[in-house]
Structure 1
Amino acid sequence: MATARSKPSESNRGTRELLIDAAEREIAHKGLEALTMKDLAKEVGIKTPSIYAHFAGRDDILRAIADRYVAALSVQFPDDGGDPLDTILAGVRSLVIYFASHPAHVRLKLRDLETPGGRPELSAAAGGEASSNLNEGPLRDFFARIEGLLHRGHEIGQIRRVSVVEFYRICFGVTLLSLTWPTQGIFTSQQDSAEISRILPFAETAIRSFLVR
């Protein structure tokens, strides 16, 4: 039987957000499986039982992180009606910077990709399994914007015909691998500006080469 998610009130929102922030730091440094309520309480400076005033349990905390991730992803690749290719590449740069600043979300996405059916908390936050996210749920408009950009770019002869699924695969593959391989410094400290400046042109060039053939 599914456990009802706890509902934050106005009075406890501050501590709740601090707990999510702390959980993201713990995950960034140690991984999803290493997150414990005891370590989280110590990080925030409260007693372990106090966490349950804000969350039903560990899974509820992971769901809150997944909610943050989905909310942030849903506004990526904004389309202001300008040049399609320029808009797409600007979106790629924004995505790299976002992931570089949120290493816990990188870990969550990587674990989601390797889990049959996806991570349950991420599937719940996105409104269903990956195959359904294209047409429904909070990521529907995100995928629709990308699809519109790809279509416009192809219509004016800027880029070859590419499906939104193909683009998503290459974009996230390039972005996540650029940040995590061959080093995994993103998980122990935020990428400095010099490292991000190195990654950005690589990601942009890779996506441009994929689209323009």
Structure 2
Amino acid sequence: MPRTNESQTAESFDVPQEVIDATLRAAAAQGVPAADVTLRDIALEAGISRSTLLRRLGGTRHTLDKALQAAGIASGARKPVRERAIEATADLISTQGLGTVTFERVASSAACSVPSLYVTFGGRDELLRAVFERYSPIVDVEALLAGPRGDLEDTVRRFYQLLVDALQREPRVLPALLAEVFARPGDANVQMVFQSVTPRLLAGVGSWLAEEAAAGHIREMPLLLLTQQMTSPIFLHFLLRPVTGLVHDIDLPTTDEAIETFTQAFLRVVALPSPSSGDGE
């Protein structure tokens, strides 16, 4: 069968009934919507090669989706498997903990197949890295430090805002991961995530702080300790904030007030006076 040309639309292309039937059988066998069945699996179900299947579809998966729609069959077209898996994993981590994340549970929550997760991510570690990339502040922090920046005070304040946004974002992946660190620091899953994140953190935040120290703006300290001096107080406050807010007779500061307080506190500890500030003394 010749391939479609520019004038032959998906609506006019005649998809063979056996292809539609094979799609529905494969979807039923995998327990997923027809839109999530790969062309490879459809071809296997139909007993033909993938290239032959593509020829029968006129060279595009879109013709199959249109044929299913015309037949009154909901293809279940939704977000790609990658997006659904990342969101489902984030929900699992937030509500049940990192240790509950298995491909079987993710596939069930994301309404996809376990093989599709292996095709998409290769393995569980890569899925967890993708989730942390999405729900941690690491990417936003790297963008902040790579782009035009204000002075030290402004950059510290903006950095804290990114941390707070990540800590308060739903699903609460970052607080759940930090809780796992304190509860099970020897857990292989926890170590995998933080072994992949710590070098990036030190490369970004650490390099920026090292530049500030070299310029004489802040005290020279070991980068790990300097980074922890910067992040630990605000992490602790916002991790405890949901519980602290339930205690009677405690007035929580607003988020902006907390960020400003921690910004000024960090600067008082590590910032050095500018050379001009000592003139005349």
Q: TM-score range by the shorter chain?
A: 0.5 to 0.7
Partners of 2:81 and 2:112 within 8 A in 1: no
Opposite residue 142 of structure 1, the aligned amino acid is: V
Q: What do residues 82-112 of structure 1 show as CA deviations (whole Å, max 9, x unaligned)?
A: 3321221222122212332262133234434
After TM superposition, give the deviation of residue 121 of structure 1 in Å.
3.2
Selected match of 2:96 from 27, 30, 54: 30
User: How many residue pairs were aligned?
Assistant: 178
How far apart are 1:146 and its partner, in Å?
Answer: 3.0
Of 199, 203, 206 in structure 1, the residue corresponding to residue 259 of structure 2 is 203
Letter in 2 for 1:26: L
Q: Residue 63 in 1 paired to residue 142 in 2?
A: no
Per-residue deviation, residues 126-180 of structure 1 (Å, max 9, x unmatched): 4xxx4xx3xxx5751332123334555x54xxxx626343442133222322222
1: CA distance between counterparts of 2:257 and 2:145?
A: 17
SS at match of 1:46: coil
> How far is 1:71 from its partner?
3.3
Do the aligned partners of 1:41 and 1:51 also contact (CA within 8 Å) in 2? Answer: yes
Work out which structure has the larger RCO, using CA pairs closer than 8 Å and 6 or more positions apart in sequence: 1
The code of the aligned residue for 2:267 comes to L
Q: State the structure with more CA Rg.
A: 2
Match of 1:92 among 135, 160, 167: 160
d(CA) in 1 for partners of 2:143, 2:192: 22
Unaligned runs of 5+ in 1: 1-10, 186-194
Aligned to 2:192, which of 110, 120, 127? 120
Secondary structure of residue in 1 paired with 2:254: helix
Runs of at least 5 residues in structure 2 that lack an aligned partner in the other structure: 1-60, 62-78, 245-251, 270-281
1:21-74 Cα distance to aligned partner (Å, 9 max, x none): 221121111110122333322222223443223233433321322444443443
> Residues of 1 paired with 2:117 and 2:191: CA distance?
23
Q: Output the TM-score relative to the length of structure 2.
A: 0.51
Map 1:23-172; keep pairs closer than 5 Å: 23-68=89-134, 69=136, 70-77=138-145, 80-101=148-169, 103-112=172-181, 115-116=185-186, 119-123=191-195, 125-126=196-197, 130=198, 133=199, 139-149=202-212, 152=215, 155=217, 161=219, 163=221, 164-172=223-231
Output the CA distance in 2 between the equivalents of 1:142 and 1:101. 21
Counterpart in the other structure of 2:49: none
Aligned equivalent of 2:6:
none
Q: Distance in 2 between matches of 1:176 and 1:109?
A: 9
RMSD: 3.5
Equivalent in 232, 238, 246 of residue 173 of structure 1: 232
* One-letter amino acid of the counterpart of residue 83, structure 2: E
